[in-house]
């Protein structure tokens, strides 16, 4: 039977990471993610696993890269300013195809901003924070149960696609308490590290994909010696400026993620089948959007919600299909419209897409959403 816990969101994330088999954590305390490190400092050593408090966020992600290369399921946790510091190492992990998970608990920014208050301002940073053409996987969650599941999913996707995965949720989810059911071991399938079958005395090519596109790994310091670099490299891992090699590697890095949009799209839908007004939201904002839908249905208004649990690659096809049957679409978020802009890019009739947002460190409410609906539809039933 599953175990029931009443926990903070950061605890739900931690429990999900442990369930997924995470056995290496390196991090630096920062509000509002510090409870993750605090909990893991007590959980990992007794299990024979590794917890490291590093001197800063740059060192934290570098340590996680090293831990992953030696065969560990590795994770770090931070918030906005720390995530900014991690961008160079994140780019290295993308280029070297190193599986790991970065938790970014969003707070108000830029700079030190609002350390203890809610925001969803890091959506675009998660996608475009590192320089150069690249692709990235970023997941989110609007409840503690979903956060537990998204954390497990983040590790599964990191191992499947041999890439960093960003878990992006906000301060309100991190610090509120809610019921979580922890499933039995094995109830959620786990993806373990795909290790090479090449014998020790045979040439190992760390960047030679199998027919299914996956890249088997060899634990660094184990049976095989191989090169790891942030430079463009050939199948042996050695730097190359050959145009064909460069073009092929960049195409591979992008296509292995952007070409799997359907496989990487995770959403929850509420009352969408006959919705004339569609709300699109994510994270804690989706909780208010969901309540707005329930309130509208009680008034006989056909409203629905598409809650996103994948932010990158942006689920454009899913959004486009959901919007097609609606008269109006309202994106509900707590920034200046970062997902709103992506929705506009995805749909045909941009003039019927609207934004309901807050940017003041306070949770957007159903009443805030209704204000926008009044403007769209006239006072009418929203009086």
DSSP 113-168: -BTTS---TTHHHHHHSSSSS---EEE--SSHHHHHHHHHHHHHHHHHHTSEEEEE
Kindly give the interhelix angle for 57-69 and 87-96, rounded to the nearest 10 degrees: 20
Question: Is the preceding omega at residue 370 within 30 degrees of 0, hence cis?
Answer: no
Strand order in the sheet with 310-312: 50-53, 24-27, 74-78, 100-106, 164-170, 137-139, 310-312
Q: Which of 92-96, 150-154, 222-226 has the lowest mean pLDDT?
A: 222-226
Q: What is the mean pLDDT of residues 89-106?
A: 98
What is the DSSP-derived secondary structure letter of residue 273?
T
The C-alpha torsion from 143 through 149 and 150 to 154, rounded to 10°, is 160
Whether residue 234 is predicted with pLDDT greater than 70 in this model: the reply is yes
CB 290 within 8 A of CB 339: no
Across the chain, what does the average pLDDT equal?
Answer: 95
Residue 216, CB-side half-sphere exposure with 13 Å CA sphere: 12
Looking at residue 294, its pLDDT comes to 97
Predicted confidence at residue 202, as pLDDT, reads 83
Helical residues (DSSP H) of the chain, grouped into ranges: 9-20, 34-43, 57-69, 80-85, 87-96, 123-128, 144-161, 171-175, 243-258, 261-264, 285-298, 316-324, 338-346, 366-377
Q: What are 167's two structure tokens?
A: 């878990």
Tokens at residue 353, please?
Answer: 């897409």
The pLDDT value recorded for residue 380 is 55
Q: DSSP code of 269?
A: E
User: Which of 160, 225, 227 is closest to 193 using CA atoms?
Assistant: 160
Instruction: Tell me the mean pLDDT in the region 11-17.
Output: 98
For residue range 299-344, what is the model confidence (pLDDT) as tens digits? 999 999 999 999 999 999 999 999 998 999 999 999 999 999 999 9
pLDDT at 378 exceeding the cut of 80: no
Average pLDDT over residues 37-60: 98
- Residue 255, classed as helix, strand or coil, is helix
Q: Residue 329 and residue 367: Cα distance in Å, rounded?
A: 17
Q: What letter does residue 223 receive in the DSSP assignment? A: S
| For residues 76-81, average pLDDT | 98
The mean per-residue pLDDT over the stretch 356-374 comes to: 96
* pLDDT at residue 383, as a whole number: 53
pLDDT of residue 342: 98
Burial pattern 9-42, b for ≥16 Cβ within 10 A else e, equals: bbbbbbbbbbbbbbbbbbbbebbbbbbbbebbee
**Percentage, residues of the chain above pLDDT 70:** 98
Which whole number is the average pLDDT over 32-54?
Answer: 98
Cα–Cα distance, 12 to 176 (Å, whole number): 11
Q: What is the maximum alpha-carbon separation in the chain?
A: 76
pLDDT, residue 112, reads 95
Question: How many other C-beta atoms lie within 10 A of the C-beta of residue 75?
Answer: 30
Residue 349 pLDDT > 80? yes
Place of tokens 């780019």: 91
- Looking at residue 346, its pLDDT comes to 95
Domain 3-182 = CATH 1.10.1060.10: no
pTM of the model as a whole = 0.96
Rounded Cα gap, residues 82 and 104, in angstroms: 9
Residue 93 near residue 134 (C-beta atoms within 8 A):
no
323-332 burial, b at 16+ Cβ within 10 Å, e below that, comes to beebebbbbb
Question: How many whole angstroms separate alpha carbon 163 and alpha carbon 255?
Answer: 12
The rounded percent of the chain whose pLDDT value lies above 90 is 91
Peptide bond into 32 cis (omega under 30): yes
CB-count burial class (<10 Å; 0-12, 13-18, 19+) for 295: middle
Q: Rounded to an integer, what distance in angstroms lies between the CA atom of residue 96 and that of residue 25?
A: 20
Report the pLDDT averaged over residues 117-124: 97
Taking residues 5-24, report their average pLDDT: 98
Mean pLDDT, range 130-153, rounded to an integer = 98
Domain 268-382 in CATH 3.40.50.920? The answer is: yes
Domain positions in the chain are 3-182, 268-382
Rounded mean pLDDT of 169-178? 97
The residue ranking higher by pLDDT, 86 or 325, is: 86
Same fold, 3-182 and 268-382: yes
Query: What is the number of alpha carbons within 13 Å of residue 317 lying toward its C-beta?
Result: 10
Mean pLDDT of 132-160: 98
Confidence band, pLDDT 50/70/90 cuts, at residue 213: confident
Q: With 0-12 CB in 10 A as exposed, 13-18 as middle and 19+ as buried, what is 213? A: middle
pLDDT category at 200 given cuts 50, 70, 90 is: confident
Write down the pLDDT at residue 381.
58
Q: Give residue 211's pLDDT.
A: 78
């Amino acid at each position: 039977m599953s175990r029931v816990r009443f926990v903070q969101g950061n605890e739900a994330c931690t429990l999900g990471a442990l369930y997924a088999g995470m056995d290496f954590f390196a991090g630096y305390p920062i509000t509002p993610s510090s409870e993750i490190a605090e909990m893991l400092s007590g959980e990992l050593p007794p299990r024979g696993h590794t917890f490291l408090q590093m001197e800063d966020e740059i060192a934290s992600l570098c340590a996680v890269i090293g831990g992953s290369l030696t065969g560990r399921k590795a994770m770090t946790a931070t918030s906005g300013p720390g995530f900014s510091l991690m961008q160079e190492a994140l780019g290295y992990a993308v280029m070297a195809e190193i599986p790991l998970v970065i938790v970014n608990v969003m707070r108000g920014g830029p700079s030190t901003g609002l350390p203890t208050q809610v925001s969803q301002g890091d959506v675009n940073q998660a996608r475009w924070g590192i320089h150069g053409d690249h692709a990235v996987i970023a997941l989110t969650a609007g409840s503690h149960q979903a956060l537990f599941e998204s954390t497990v999913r983040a590790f599964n996707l990191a191992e499947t696609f041999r890439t960093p995965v960003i878990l992006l949720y906000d301060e309100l989810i991190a610090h509120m308490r809610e019921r979580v059911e922890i499933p039995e071991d094995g109830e959620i399938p786990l993806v373990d590290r795909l290790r090479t079958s090449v014998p020790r005395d045979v040439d190992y090519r760390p960047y030679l994909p199998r027919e299914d596109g996956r890249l088997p790994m060899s634990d660094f310091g184990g049976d095989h010696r191989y090169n790891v670099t942030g430079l463009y490299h050939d199948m042996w891992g050695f730097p190359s400026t050959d145009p064909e090699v460069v073009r092929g590697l960049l195409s591979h890095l992008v296509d292995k993620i952007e070409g799997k949009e359907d496989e990487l799209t995770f959403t929850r839908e509420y009352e969408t089948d006959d919705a004339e007004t569609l709300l699109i939201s994510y994270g804690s904002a989706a909780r208010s959007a969901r309540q707005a839908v329930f309130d509208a249905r009680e008034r006989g208004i056909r409203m629905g919600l598409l809650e996103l649990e994948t932010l990158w690659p942006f689920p454009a096809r899913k959004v486009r299909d959901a919007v097609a049957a609606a008269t109006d679409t309202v994106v509900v978020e707590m920034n200046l419209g970062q997902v709103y802009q992506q929705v506009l890019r995805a749909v045909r009739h941009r003039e019927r897409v609207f934004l309901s947002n807050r940017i003041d460190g306070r949770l957007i409410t159903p009443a805030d959403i209704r204000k926008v609906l009044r403007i769209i539809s006239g006072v009418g039933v929203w009086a």
